[in-house]
Amino acid sequence: MEKCIIKPGELTLANLRKIWTSPCRIKLDESCFSRIHASATTVQNVIKNNEVVYGINTGFGLLASTRIEDKDLQLLQKSLVLSHAVGTGEAIDEDTVRLLMILKVSSLAQGYSGIRLSTIEALCDLINEGITPFIPAKGSVGASGDLAPLAHMSATLMGVGDVFYRSEQITAKAALKKCGLSAIQLEAKEGLALLNGTQVSTALALRGLFEAEQNFTAALYCGALSVDAAAGSDAPFDKRIHQVRGHKGQIDVAANFRKLLLHSEIRQSHLDCDRVQDPYSLRCQPQVMGAILTQLRYATDILLTEANAVSDNPLVFFEDGDIISGGNFHAEPVALAADALAVAISEIGAISERRTALLIDKHLSGLPAFLVENGGVNSGFMIAHVTASALASENKSLAHPASVDSLPTSANQEDHVSMATFAARRLIEMNENVNGILAVEYLAAAQGIDFRSPLKTSPLLEKFHQQLREQVARYDQDRFFAPEISRAKMLLKNQDLRDELDGEIIG
């Protein structure tokens, strides 16, 4: 298991991607220890000086004006965690939970949360021992932090609830015992610091971003392969066209289409054909995919900032001796970024579905109807395209912005919420749908390339074509096709196609 030193507030996109994809052992950079201690000491001084400060010795939400006696402060934190652990639904996947736990560690360790080092290290111990809290996916509105899901995470520290340990679901108490760990007692403010924050929404959105990047890259390859399969032109990818418009995403995408189609025998064979223009789904790929890339990069910037943010409340500014209540827990930045991702993801699938429709239409592609010989007896790709259409249509509904919806909670104390957790969570289903849409296009475009034989596509695309043919044979007559779509999906998921492209996609 790889070791990772966490420098609070300095996580990179590469760090986050690696944390999400593989288990790791983490250790806090010792440079943060003094700030953590100073912040925790400031909280203790409030209690010693008999001051009244929200989140330390008061109730929460509408009960913020209720003073809590010193003897009840530990009970207050315990009660807070247990009462807020009210999530429902299936568990968030273990990879995303690992990511959100490390985001929480990074946030708390910056020294603005008033939490003890030992409590942060207890969270690190869970990560290092492979104890993954069972966190129900539903129950957060993305304001006052991701309260319910983070309460389930925090309950694990107390030996409460269920966890996943070595591929088995067991009680937190049993997992702690197996690993020689003890349940902890939370001190003043610690439960609130653990529960407040946007880490669940952010981790889910980061997963959505990483999967969208994979789909985006696959869509460039599938789109380029479709250009050759349909005997389309590469003239619309001419550098000059895109330079005069000026959008960097469009310029970058066009450059990659030029690279992917370079030295195609199929293209050379019809340089002097009488076709004037290709349909938009081929010709306007740089404009559409470039705009999508711009949205991916926007979301990357927002989510990387939020991954390194301190988002609990109140915040402890120990240098000034101040503890200030604000609203960094409100996840509106994440919600808006996730909504932008949802629209972008939907568009990746929408234009891919149109290319498949083009390929199976003999009048547009010049290929046999539905990409199969002996049509009539064989239906070919007719219903595979219907599947792609169904998935694209689902994504249109899922792309509706979640951030525009707000239901007041906590007796109108929390009267505007972000819905960031759902905004981010639905990206998982959307990306899975796009993966299916692209798999159908991959199969269809490869079939079109086969019909152009003995002419070959470009060297890069020939390799991409051959990787599919090693898993799925040419479609020569109707057969049970669903398993082959599944194989194409896995190929697109598991291949890291970024290495062949010019420049970074999102970083």
Catalytic residue positions, numbered: 54
* Cα four-point dihedral sign 186, 189, 195, 199: negative
Helix and strand tally (H, E) in the chain? 20, 9
Q: Which helix (H) or strand (E) holds 132?
A: strand 131-133
Which pairing describes strands 322-324 and 162-165: parallel, antiparallel, or unpaired? unpaired
Structure tokens at 56: 């330390």
Query: What span, in angstroms and rounded, lies between the C-alpha atoms of 300 and 341?
Result: 10
Which residues have C-beta within 8 Å of that of residue 404, sequence separation ≥ 6?
Answer: none
Indicate the residue type of 506: I
- Which residues partner with 162 through β-bridges? 171
> What would the DSSP string read from start to end of 454-496?
TS---HHHHHHHHHHHTTS----S----HHHHHHHHHHHHH--
- Distance, in Å, from the CA atom of 21 to the CA atom of 5, rounded to the nearest integer, reads 17
Give the Cα separation of 149 and 467 in Å (integer): 41
**Strand, helix or coil for residue 157:** helix
CA distance 229 to 360: 11
87: number of Cβ within 10 Å: 22
Q: What share of the chain is helix, strand, coil (3-state, %, to 5)?
A: 60, 10, 35
- The Cα–Cα gap between 156 and 195 comes to 12
Strand 24-28 relative to strand 2-6: parallel, antiparallel, unpaired?
parallel
Largest Cα separation within the chain, whole Å, is 88
> CA separation (Å) from 297 to 66, 291, 400?
45, 10, 20
What would you report as the CA-atom Rg of the chain, rounded to the nearest whole angstrom?
26
